[in-house]
């Protein structure tokens, strides 16, 4: 394993300067960006992995277990973290080696502001969830000094755990077509997300392939919340002729849609059939219960942990991509496929 002395020699700086930068204090000590970048490049070239456990032991810490950081956005998707943590917890229990989990909140589109991601001084590996397209661009351009696993995103640079979102959208369109619908609608969370965009594009292309009409007035969006869905449904109902089927790309939003339709005395599924996405716990208890796309969050979280541990132990070479297959869970808001 490379040392700070070797990094300093390669970067042509003193050991003290290299140590300051690798500990994330370069800006504080007014070390130029060019010098900092040269040190990071040297660390990356030498495959430097800071001994975080030893550092903590020297500073009086009682435990020296490797740390896996979970990066999760500080936005409405924070409510979705429960199922992910269950998968992480179950997988860590099965591991032969003890690990610690660090929850690292970050602001959507501002992943670049988390200095510890570059320095690699707080954790041994990182799982990054909910990255926006701006965050993905940063990751592709940055020299990250710790193993990275992306959740629900794909990458040519980092290991990832994802699903085929385009295919998911197509499958919902196929369901509506099989049930004889001619007009469909779409409600989309207003987020900078490649996964959501691919899901939407798959549904629109699938609708075209299966002969479903989707007019511009039947496509709307809103916040990734129940209230966002409630307001989006209000906008949708301004159309002269409403769709007979509706794909809502978030269960949270779909629950708000159901509330608005109930308020307007529009019967579900008799007058309009609805499919959500994620299969959140609340979807089973909506009225009527929500037909939705089951996202295997717990299994995906466990795989994120497996990949992180394998990367830390140099047992795999990134990028490794794991693709899961979601499926539609049929409940009361929309029936099952009909074979014609």
Among candidate residues 295, 315, 334, the one where a domain is terminated: 295
Question: Is 255 within a domain?
Answer: yes
Taken in order 71, 75, 80, 86, is the CA torsion positive or negative?
positive
**pTM for the whole thing?**
0.82
The candidate with the shortest Cα–Cα distance to 151, out of 281, 303, 312, 292, is 303
Give the per-residue pLDDT at 78.
75
Taking alpha carbons only, the member of 90, 107, 109 closest to residue 99 is 90
Average pLDDT rounded to a whole number, residues 231-249: 95
What average pLDDT does the segment 191-214 reach?
95
Q: Which residues span the domain enclosing 7? A: 1-48
pLDDT at 28: 76
> CA–CA separation, 74 vs 104, rounded Å?
10
The pLDDT value recorded for residue 36 is 85
Quote the number of domains for the chain.
Answer: 2
- Which pLDDT belongs to residue 58? 44
Residue 117 lies in a domain: no
Type and span of the H or E element at 149: strand 148-151
Rounded Cα gap, residues 337 and 331, in angstroms? 12
126: left (phi over 0), alpha (psi -120 to 50) or beta: beta
State which of 48, 68, 85 marks the end of a domain: 48
331 located within any domain: no
Tokens 């900092």 found at: 36
Q: What is the CATH number of the domain that holds 186?
A: 3.40.50.2300
Domain contains 196 = yes
Q: Is residue 178 part of a domain?
A: yes
Domain end position, chosen among 278, 295, 312: 295
Distance of CA 217 to the CA centre of its chain: 29
> Which uninterrupted H or E stretch holds 32?
none
In this structure, is residue 119 part of a structural domain?
A: no
DSSP 8-state secondary structure symbol assigned to residue 309 = H
Query: Looking at residue 28, which CATH number applies to its domain?
Result: 1.10.260.40
Peptide bond preceding 319: is omega within 30 degrees of 0, i.e. cis? Answer: yes
Whether residue 275 is contained in a domain is answered as: yes
Q: Is residue 261 part of a domain?
A: yes
Which tens digits make up the pLDDT trace of 48-91? 766 554 445 444 555 568 899 999 998 877 778 999 999 999 99
What was the pLDDT predicted at 46? 80
Q: Kindly state the tokens that stand for 137.
A: 């661009």
């Amino acid at each position: 394993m490379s040392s700070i002395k070797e990094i300093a020699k390669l970067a042509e700086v003193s050991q003290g300067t290299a140590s300051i930068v690798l500990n994330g204090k370069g800006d504080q000590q007014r070390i130029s960006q060019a010098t900092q970048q040269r040190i990071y490049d040297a660390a990356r070239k030498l495959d430097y992995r800071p001994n975080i456990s030893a550092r903590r032991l020297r500073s009086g810490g009682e435990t020296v277990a490797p740390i896996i950081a979970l990066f999760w956005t500080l936005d409405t998707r924070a409510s979705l973290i429960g199922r992910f943590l269950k998968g992480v917890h179950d997988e860590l229990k099965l591991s032969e080696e003890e690990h610690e989990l660090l929850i690292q909140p970050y602001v959507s589109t501002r992943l670049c502001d988390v200095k510890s991601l570059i320095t690699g001084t707080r954790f041994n590996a990182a799982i990054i969830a909910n990255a926006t397209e701006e965050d993905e661009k940063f990751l592709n351009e940055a020299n990250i000094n710790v193993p990275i696993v992306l959740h629900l995103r794909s990458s040519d640079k980092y290991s990832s755990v994802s699903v085929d979102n385009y295919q998911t959208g197509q499958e919902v369109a196929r369901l509506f077509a099989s049930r004889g619908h001619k007009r469909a609608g779409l409600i989309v969370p207003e987020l900078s997300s490649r996964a959501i965009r691919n899901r939407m594009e798959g549904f629109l292309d699938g609708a075209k392939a299966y002969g479903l009409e989707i007019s511009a007035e039947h496509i709307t969006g809103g916040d990734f919340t129940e209230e966002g869905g409630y307001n989006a449904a209000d906008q949708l109902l301004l159309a002269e002729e409403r769709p007979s089927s509706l794909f809502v790309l978030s269960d949270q939003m779909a629950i708000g849609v159901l509330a608005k339709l109930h308020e307007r005395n529009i019967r579900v599924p008799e007058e309009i059939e609805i499919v959500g996405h994620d299969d959140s716990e609340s979807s089973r208890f909506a009225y009527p219960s929500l037909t939705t796309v089951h996202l295997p969050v717990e299994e995906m979280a466990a795989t994120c942990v497996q990949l992180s541990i394998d990367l830390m132990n140099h047992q795999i070479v990134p990028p490794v991509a794991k693709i899961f297959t979601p499926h539609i869970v049929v409940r009361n808001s929309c029936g099952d496929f009909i074979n014609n």
